[in-house]
Chains A and B, each alone.
Chain A
Amino acid sequence: MRVISLVAGAFAALACSAVYAQSVDVSAAEALAKKSGCTKCHSVSAKKEGPSFKQTAEKYKGKPDAEAALFKHLTTNPKIKVDGKEELHDSPKTKNEAEIRNLIQYILSR
């Protein structure tokens, strides 16, 4: 019975992650990232001034508070350090929370 529950749980998790992956609107996220100037400092996989989306996804892999942490980072203009100098991190150019969350899911799914 325990084995069956485990297998069922695993299938459910797999199904959820598939739905989760499908739910990301990649082109909308890429368009918002471009419009907001994110790609000036962040690349999907290559080195730029800021960490790549892949590095961010790796950093938050398996962390349940990943979305909340990134939402805070993207919406509160926190201070960041670039070349030893402090500057404010920009926010996405939208007031639509769903669009920001889609961008976060896009980053986390890289």
Chain B
Amino acid sequence: MLGEWWTNLRTRCQTCSRVTLGAGVFVLALVVAGLLLTAGAAGLAWTNTEEFCTGCHEMRDNVYAEFKGSIHDKNRSGVRAICSNCHVPHEPVALIVRKMQASFEVWGHLTGKIDTKEKFAKHRYEMAVKEWTRMKRNGSQECRNCHHFDAMEPEKQTEKARARHEKAAAAGTPCIDCHFGIAHNEPDGPGPQELPEFQKMKAVKQ
């Protein structure tokens, strides 16, 4: 098929040499690929904005309303963590995988699965477990993109925080095991430390 297309192209431009034509096709392919990549990157960047994430009332009226005023929204230094900072991986492959999953979550929006406060409350726990599981599997990478054990100054932490962080760093405990329900309301039920999948893994390790 490609050979046929090339022959057709050469017939149409008989004055062009094979090299000139080849170079032209190559440049054109580069331009198209560049445009597609730029559009894709712009699209991905757009879906990471706070405006996009809060574009639907399910997010705006529930988890975003809870996030407002939390330490990740307002603090003394003015550094904010928006939705995508915590819920979208930065690594290219993981990012694409998460975006693909998120596109399936749009189905929930279209079918009105969580379109009222009551429905949202009913599904809050399962949604939280999904996110806790993701954040446990990747060692809470999104937290650690900003919070580095190595960069912490233990002497500036309270004695209790220092003890907990030292223990967590030594054991490789993911941040989410303790720091859950800090930006959104805590759902009713067992927390990240009690998820069955990880309980089994812990038992196997021991």
**Does B associate with A?**
yes
Chain A residues close to B by CB (< 8 Å)? 39-41, 43-49, 82-83, 85, 87
Residues on A with C-beta less than 8 A from B191 are 43, 45-48
Residues on B with C-beta less than 8 A from A49 are 164, 178
- Once the chains are docked, how many angstroms separate the CA of A49 from the CA of B193? 10
With beta carbons under 8 angstroms apart, the residue of A45, A82, A85, A87 that contacts B190 is A45
CB nearest neighbor in A for B192? A46
Residues on B with C-beta less than 8 A from A39 are 181-182
Is B186 within 8 A of A48, CB to CB?
no
CB-CB under 8 A for A43 and B159, given A48-B178, A49-B178: no
Q: Which residues of B, 160-179, contact A by the 8 Å Cβ criterion?
A: 160-161, 163-164, 167, 178
- Once the chains are docked, how many angstroms separate the CA of A41 from the CA of B177? 11
- Size range of the chain B interface in the assembly: 10 to 19
Residues on A with C-beta less than 8 A from B167 are 83
Residues on A with C-beta less than 8 A from B160 are 40-41, 82, 87
Residues on B with C-beta less than 8 A from A83 are 163, 167
Looking at the assembled complex, report how far the CB atom of B94 sits from the nearest CB atom of chain A, in whole angstroms. Answer: 26
Looking at the assembled complex, report how far the CB atom of B143 sits from the nearest CB atom of chain A, in whole angstroms. Answer: 15
B189 contacts chain A at the CB level, 8 A cutoff: yes
- Once the chains are docked, how many angstroms separate the CA of A43 from the CA of B192? 11
- Once the chains are docked, how many angstroms separate the CA of A70 from the CA of B111? 47
**26 contacts across the A-B interface (CB closer than 8 A):** A39-B181, A39-B182, A40-B161, A41-B160, A43-B180, A43-B186, A44-B186, A44-B188, A45-B186, A45-B189, A45-B191, A46-B180, A46-B190, A46-B192, A46-B194, A47-B190, A47-B193, A48-B178, A48-B193, A49-B164, A49-B178, A82-B163, A83-B163, A85-B163, A87-B159, A87-B160
